[in-house]
């Protein structure tokens, strides 16, 4: 899917007026949302979040989504990534500790990924090992970069544990980390378990955001 219509060219910036009931921070957030072309594009295309374009752009570069692929989307709510994968013709199983509104072609489980029986349950729902494991999970930001990095890496490590349990040989893992890349331990595990590991910042990721994505291709299992 092309994302040229999300470039923002020719758009007139929207300014949010001061309001006694609105803080400067909330006014800045609202103004950013109103002027974000990816937010507008997500709304027009029916995606549940602008994050859908991040997955579209990552797939446009690495071509891991395909018709008939078995995809596991971890921390899936509100569902933007699941929507993209399902639209590609993949069989999608999604999981999150939060509720998620149904998506055609997506099987959803409200589940804690740290549960010992969760990987087996998800693999059974897929009907076998996964071709692709996706995660766009991030802990709520604190404004302290080091703390946010550690918390997001912890979520990536949880997702990787599930991925190592459910992926088939040759499979793909795509997950969110923060700038500074994966932690040394996480990166070591990724390089050991996958043929190729890349850190990428897709265009849809806001320039001021410190998020990065790791794309690990060619699962070969831990030894």
Domain check: are 153 and 205 in the same one? Answer: yes
Domain check: are 87 and 184 in the same one? Answer: yes
Domain span including residue 211: 52-219
Number of domains in the chain: 2
Domain check: are 15 and 60 in the same one? Answer: no
Domain check: are 103 and 140 in the same one? Answer: yes
Digit-coded pLDDT (tens) for 134-184: 999 877 666 776 777 678 788 889 999 999 999 999 999 999 887 665 678
Cβ atoms within 10 A of the Cβ of 174, count? 28
- Provide the strand spans (E) within 97-145: 106-110, 130-135
Domain check: are 103 and 133 in the same one? Answer: yes
Domain check: are 109 and 167 in the same one? Answer: yes
Q: How many whole angstroms separate alpha carbon 214 and alpha carbon 93? A: 21
Domain check: are 65 and 84 in the same one? Answer: yes
Would you say 153 and 185 are in contact if contact means Cβ atoms under 8 Å apart?
no
Dihedral (Cα; 173, 111, 206, 81), 10-degree rounding: 60
Domain check: are 111 and 40 in the same one? Answer: no
Q: Which of 2-11, 98-107, 209-218 holds the top average pLDDT?
A: 98-107
Q: Whole-model pTM?
A: 0.81
Would you say 91 and 126 are in contact if contact means Cβ atoms under 8 Å apart?
yes
Please report, for the domain that includes residue 146, its CATH number.
3.40.50.150
Domain check: are 110 and 181 in the same one? Answer: yes
Confidence class of residue 34 from pLDDT cuts 50, 70 and 90?
Answer: very low
- Asked if 168 is an active-site residue, the reply is no
Cβ atoms within 10 A of the Cβ of 175, count? 28
Domain check: are 23 and 118 in the same one? Answer: no
| DSSP annotation of 5 | G
Domain check: are 14 and 91 in the same one? Answer: no
Domain check: are 118 and 9 in the same one? Answer: no
Mean predicted confidence (pLDDT) in 5-26: 50
What is the arrangement of strands in the sheet containing 167-178, beginning at the earlier edge strand?
Answer: 106-110, 91-96, 70-74, 130-135, 167-178, 211-219, 194-200
Q: Which of 2, 176, 192, 223 is catalytic?
A: 176
């Amino acid at each position: 899917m092309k994302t040229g219509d999300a470039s923002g060219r020719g758009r007139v910036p929207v300014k949010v007026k001061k309001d006694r009931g609105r803080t400067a921070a909330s006014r800045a957030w609202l103004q950013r949302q109103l002027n974000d072309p990816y937010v507008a594009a997500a709304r027009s295309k029916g995606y549940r979040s602008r994050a859908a374009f991040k997955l579209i752009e990552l797939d446009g570069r690495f071509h891991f989504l395909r018709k008939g692929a078995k995809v596991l989307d971890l921390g899936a709510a509100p569902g933007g990534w699941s929507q993209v994968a399902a639209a590609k013709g993949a069989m999608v199983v999604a999981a999150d500790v939060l509720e998620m509104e149904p998506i055609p072609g997506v099987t959803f489980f409200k589940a804690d990924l740290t549960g010992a029986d969760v990987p087996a349950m998800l693999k059974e729902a897929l009907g076998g090992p996964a071709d692709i494991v996706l995660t766009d999970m991030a802990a709520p930001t604190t404004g302290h970069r080091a703390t946010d990095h550690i918390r997001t890496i912890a979520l990536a490590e949880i997702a990787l544990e599930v991925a190592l349990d459910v992926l088939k040989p040759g499979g793909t893992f795509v997950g969110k980390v923060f700038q500074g890349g994966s932690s040394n331990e996480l990166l070591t595990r990724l390089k050991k378990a996958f043929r190729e590991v890349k850190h990428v910042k897709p265009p849809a990721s806001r320039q001021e955001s410190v998020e990065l994505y790791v794309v690990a291709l060619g699962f070969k299992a831990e030894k």
